[in-house]
Amino acid sequence: ARSPALARGAPRAPARRHRAQQADASPAMANMTTPTIGFIGAGNMAEALMKGFVSSGQADWSRIVASDPNPPRREAMSALGVTVKDNVGVAASSDVVFIATKPQQVAEVLREIAGTLYSSGALVVSIAAGVTLNTMYDALVGAGNANAGISHVRVMPNTPCFVGETAAAMALSGGVSTAEKECVERLLSSVGKCHVVDEKLLDAVTGLSGSGPAYVFLTIEAMADGGVAAGLPRPVALSLAAQTVLGGAKMVLEGGKHPGELKDMVCSPGGTTIAGVHELEKAGVRAAYMNAVTAAARRSKELSKL
């Protein structure tokens, strides 16, 4: 798939200035408003992103290209109206390329498509957990010094992306242009919320929002179990618990009040809610949540070094 000039051991091209420093903008940068979007890896997360981009009007199926080694996934993409190509074909025909493979495959994929990415000027966005910007850079540069000019972004989304409510954060390589940054922000904001952070904070993001859906699901399940213990039918208890979490989250995000203030508004003196909150505090629930986030963040940091 790689040209002979980029084969391992071949003479490397002279290093060039980063695209953001060149006088002429790349073709891809000119298309950041209505980009052709590529996906290398077309699994469930990739499909969720595609559907979110299309439903929000940020893309249409005719401008999405994808590759995947799994024939059923390629067939599923074709059924949606996605153009299916190989990895190099995706890189050649896209303005933004999402790398949605397994983490251990990212470096190999980047080495394969590096020369094509440099020629096309496409922006690379990895959503693979634990793959650092340095790992991406090393894979791109390993395919030829000139490829050091390829802009790349690391994103940590989460599974509520499947319902258009992701909580994501992204870190940028040094030469990402303003247009490229705004393009990725716009795309990810169409499926939820996205924050730009320093890469050193992505382990904390993983511990909080990356792993957080599991904490929320556990909370909903426990609340529903409590409802059943108090006499509610299981379906009613589960619905009430889930809707309570949804409503509470919307009050925090849309109301502008601190969670502690909102909690105090529910807790009448000597009432039912403060009795329940007292039990949660005795059980150490607040500390348990904090410990869960920091433990997951530590583990994320450990895994990124493997």
pLDDT in tens, 91-135: 999 999 999 999 999 999 999 999 999 888 899 999 998 899 999
- Of all residues in the chain, the percent with pLDDT exceeding 90 is 80
Position 23 pLDDT exceeds 70: no
- CA 228 from chain centre, in angstroms, equals 36
Return d(Cα 168, Cα 189) in angstroms, integer. Answer: 9
Please tell me what DSSP assigns to residue 160.
Answer: G
Q: What is the pLDDT of residues 263-304, one digit of tens each?
A: 999 999 999 999 999 999 999 999 999 999 999 999 999 988
Mean pLDDT of the residues in the chain: 89
Position 11 pLDDT exceeds 50: no
CB neighbours of residue 269 within 10 Å = 5
Q: Which residues contact 92 (CB under 8 A, 6 or more apart)?
A: 116, 119, 120
Residue 28 has what pLDDT? 56
Position 252 pLDDT exceeds 80: yes
- Of all residues in the chain, the percent with pLDDT exceeding 70 is 88
Return d(Cα 120, Cα 22) in angstroms, integer. Answer: 14
Residue 12 has what pLDDT? 35
Position 24 pLDDT exceeds 50: no
Distance (Å) of CA 237 to CA 132, 256, 279 = 42, 29, 20
Position 176 pLDDT exceeds 80: yes
Whole-model pTM above 0.85?
no
pLDDT band at 30 (very low <50, low <70, confident <90, very high): low
Q: Which of 19-28, 253-262, 284-293 shows the lowest per-residue confidence on average (mean pLDDT)?
A: 19-28
pLDDT band at 22 (very low <50, low <70, confident <90, very high): very low
Q: 66-85 b/e with 16+ CB inside 10 Å = b?
A: bbbeeeebbebbeeeebbbb
Instruction: Compute the half-sphere exposure of residue 54: CA atoms within 13 Å on the CB side of its CA.
Output: 16
Average pLDDT over residues 221-238: 98
Q: Which residues contact 91 (CB under 8 A, 6 or more apart)?
A: 38, 40, 97, 113, 116, 117, 120, 122
Distance (Å) of CA 269 to CA 89, 248, 260, 266 = 65, 21, 16, 10
pLDDT band at 148 (very low <50, low <70, confident <90, very high): low
Q: Which two tokens stand for residue 300?
A: 């994320």
Q: Which two tokens stand for residue 82?
A: 């996605």
Closest CA to 143 of 85, 93, 87, 199: 87
pLDDT band at 32 (very low <50, low <70, confident <90, very high): confident
pLDDT band at 89 (very low <50, low <70, confident <90, very high): very high
Position 47 pLDDT exceeds 90: yes
Q: Which of 25-29, 199-203, 301-305 has the highest mean pLDDT?
A: 199-203
